[in-house]
A and B are shown apart, each in its own frame.
Chain A
Amino acid sequence: MDFTEFVTDRQHTLLRFATALSGDSRRAEEIVADVLARAYEQWDRISRLEQVNAYVRRMIVNEFLSRKRRDHRTIPLADLTGYAEHVPDPATGHAQRDALIAQLATLTRRQRAAIVLRYYEGLSDTEIADTLGCALGTVRSNISRGLAILRVEQREPDPPGDRTRAPMLTVEEH
């Protein structure tokens, strides 16, 4: 597949994924542009891969994880916790979603990447481990901690060996 054709076909999907990952459409554009710039250089090799889309997605995750933290800032967790509980009906659904989006910003990059890969991209834990380049247990730990911070109810708990303790309340915006 020609590079331009690939970008035309996939850019919106890549931008969506990068936005979910970074929480910021401007930053997502930067990430995608940088990744595609590097992909362009090696397109002859990449285009011959069987899983081009997965490969570029992984480049985006790596770019997100390795970017300089120039946008680093701190959000006081106290301002976010309990937000959803105090919102009256009937707007609870939207408010809860907004609160979830806000709290995603409080996760570490690896927690956030693991959660986005599972709940947005629909990858299995094994695939997430492969994408993040870490052990399966680390993936589950990151997801479990992330869900705990987000206070998301897990329908199926992780295997007993992978259960983690409650997250520390240190907050980091990436």
Chain B
Amino acid sequence: MPTENELRDALTALADQAPDNCDASLAERSRRRNSQLRQRSRILLPIMAAATVLAVAAASLLAVNRPTGTTGQPSLPAASTAPLLVTGTLPANRYVFNLAPIPGYTTRNLTTSATQQSAAVETSAGHAVATVALYAPGSWQPARPTDARDVTVNGRSGFYGTLHVSPAELAGLVFQRMSLTQPDRSELALPGALAWQYQPGAWALVYAYAEQKMPATAALTKQQAITIARALRPGQSRAARVPAQFSALPAGLQLQGITWRSTTGQEPSALFSFGPSDTTKTTLMVGVNPGTGAHLPHSVTIATPHGSTFHGGYTAAQGDLEVTDGNAYLSLTSLTDDGTGPREPQPSDHEYTLAQLTALVKGMHLARDVADVSTWFDAATATQ
């Protein structure tokens, strides 16, 4: 017998069949449709008016006390709760929200994970200003700051103040797993942060940009935070794009999250997080970065949460990777950044075998130009 939650999932799956229609064409079609309806109304209106008079008279005679608002224009509804725009865990390969244009700013992807998705808000010059994070329902609940001031975002209540959070809370599941093996118990103070429930039990957060441990920019003013928060559109699904596809993941690994990184003046890079459903096993991170020149057009970094890193750069012209397996070392490297020689091998925790990692890298298909986002792939195809 299905449960109520399974019914919710079924309805969400049904809603997923709705067409992706994210342009303004529907507005134009609505205007045209309006003209058609008006023409039709000119013909039907006298008939409808007569029918209405008769219906009202009949209703009065029968003293029918029907509730209003079942057809036509409704009366103003009572205070509404949030529609369930996001349910369950979040997909790794799609965004479940959009950001409406914010005057004076641009936006770019930051992370996807099962518990959190985020995007960066930057000035047109590329300077990071704020992070907008959307958390899966029930995955995070902020403690109300002592200096909290109540705010309303698109009709939803929240607060603005100095939030105290752990780095893992900010980064979502991907880095929460890393924090299991590299515990970082420090607490970040986020002055000028705005947290609100975009739907009941599900929180979103806007705060001054603080990627990893980089120093945050100036705190957002309340009005700045609200302006950015209002741009968040939960429930507007859109594809994420990535610079690589993987056809030979170690058995049992699935894509669990993607982190996009870029700093001012640099091309973006993507860090994939692959993990098993068994959460006690470590996550395998694969970073794909633009290279530093003709000798190294791309670099690939494979890391595990134990801090061990397999770092390798290679050129398409060079062909297959040179792989060296030492007793306690593993290298997937061919060239240093300047193309003059092999890198020093890096230590391995041997969570994944050499054969697995070699197969993973050899089964990796890079975008035509890793530095050019327009050549990237739809993330839905990342592990096909």
Contacts and interface: CB of A to CB of B under 8 A. Distances in A.
Chain A interface bracket (under 10, 10 to 19, 20 to 34, 35 or more): 35 or more
B100 interface: yes
A122 B81 contact: yes
B30 A119 contact: no
A28 B18 contact: yes
B384 interface: no
A127 interface: yes
A150 B77 contact: no
Contacts of B74: 55, 58-59, 62, 131, 133
A62 B71 contact: yes
Interface in A103-148: 104, 115-116, 119-124, 126-127, 130-135, 147
A144 B108 CA distance: 45
SS class, residues of chain A in contact with chain B: helix
B213 to A, nearest CB: 35
A122 B34 contact: no
Interface in B260-284: none
Contacts of B67: 133-135
Contacts of B83: 13, 17, 53, 57, 120-123
B231 to A, nearest CB: 9
B13 to A, nearest CB: 6
Interface in B49-103: 67-74, 76-85, 100
Interface stretch (A18-26, A71-79, A158-166): A18-26
Interface string B13-42: 111111111111011011111101110000
A68 interface: no
Given A66-B71, A84-B2, A151-B1, A7 B30 contact: yes
3 tightest CB-CB pairs across the interface, nearest first? A133-B69, A37-B33, A36-B30
Interface of B: 1-4, 6-24, 26-27, 29-34, 36-38, 67-74, 76-85, 100, 155, 199-200, 233, 235-237
17 contacts: A7-B30, A23-B14, A25-B17, A33-B33, A37-B32, A37-B36, A51-B155, A66-B72, A97-B10, A100-B2, A100-B10, A120-B8, A122-B84, A124-B81, A151-B1, A151-B2, A155-B3
Given A66-B71, A100-B10, A120-B84, 6 more contacts: A3-B30, A40-B31, A62-B72, A101-B14, A119-B8, A150-B7
